[in-house]
Chains A and B, each alone.
Chain A
Amino acid sequence: MAHEIKSPIPGTFYRKPSPDEPPYKEVGDSVAKGDTIGLVEVMKTFHEVKADGEGTVASYEVEDTDPVTAGQVLVKLD
């Protein structure tokens, strides 16, 4: 069943732990509950976004370094 992972806070979304590292997840990767799918930077502090469901990454709804709002969908899982 489809599941959406939303940003808990407003800020800037990052798909990678740091610019030189690979993304946490790619489309097609399997995701377990509690897996980190990205970071949100809010007021110069970084917060990991954890999956609150499980499945396979169908799409990333925002690009790396895009601004996001609280409650915005970041990732869709199949």
Chain B
Amino acid sequence: MTYVAQPASVGMIMGKVLLALGLGIAAYVIYFGPAILVSLTLASLAALACEALVLRLRGYVIAPFLKDGSALVTAWLLALSMPPLAPWWLVVAGTAFAIVVAKHLYGGLGNNLFNPAMAGYVLLLVSFPSHMTQWPAAEMLAHAHLSLLDAAIYIFTGHLPAGVTLDAITMATPLDMLKTQLKLGHTVNEVTRAPLYGYLGGRGSEVIAAAWLVGGLILLKQRVITWHVPVAMLAALFAAALWFHVYDPDRYVAPWFHLATGGAMLGAFFIATDPVTGPTTPMGKLIFGAAIGLLVYLIRTFGGYPDGVAFAVLIMNMAVPLIDLYTQPRVIGHDSKKSDRS
């Protein structure tokens, strides 16, 4: 019997994740307006409601599971991956799918094969592509601003304040713009001179990426995550981008741009590190992270979608059992040869 336990719980771990996300959310609000707060709240409520309902249907005790915070983490990651001005039903549908199907139909906490937030996101992306690409412009680039109330009204009713058009508040994302402009024959250099771009990535979004990075480092320091997945993923993304960039800098954007744009940082520290759907061995985590980094680069550069984090994560989720199987560490007292059974 072990009579003592470290004062740690699943709820505390999830709580730390939520706290670490706070920094990036603050940056999000500063650079893109308060609309994200509406969708975060909406997703949270939807997730808790779905979780409670399904737990009830499955005959589980509700309170301890609801308090574990895993539903909230899923909700936040999904909301942070979606355009903040997406209509309310889109958020609710995505969250419901994430919780009910991706999480509970696979057995609930700890048993799901796919990252629930990313499963929800991909479902929305393929089902409602037009809604999922309506991204707000950064505050300094937008021609109009939405207050928290305006944003809430738009999300719930689809009505904008008088005199404001959708075009005035939305814009292509840096990755999107880069892709379309490159197709039109422009060089990377020409494209990234546009006001949409900042020093490293998209204007505003590079700061948010930095905030995710800091939040991730906090999680590392707190030992909520290990370094393997984020380092491997970012390194692979960087290396792939560097290779192509050196090969043809006019057609392939610089590696740091990839790190500072889109879902790279959020994905590396908060999404790909989901313990439930990731590998458990140190070596497995490195392989898993590196493969995601590589896939993100390939999807961004050659694929049909502007960002690839969600697809890369889901694809690699499927490989996890195999990765774990082949990366079992050598047990103390056993030969270095694999799987001796004496």
Partners in one complex: no
By a beta-carbon cutoff of 8 Å, the part of chain B in contact with chain A is none
By a beta-carbon cutoff of 8 Å, the part of chain A in contact with chain B is none
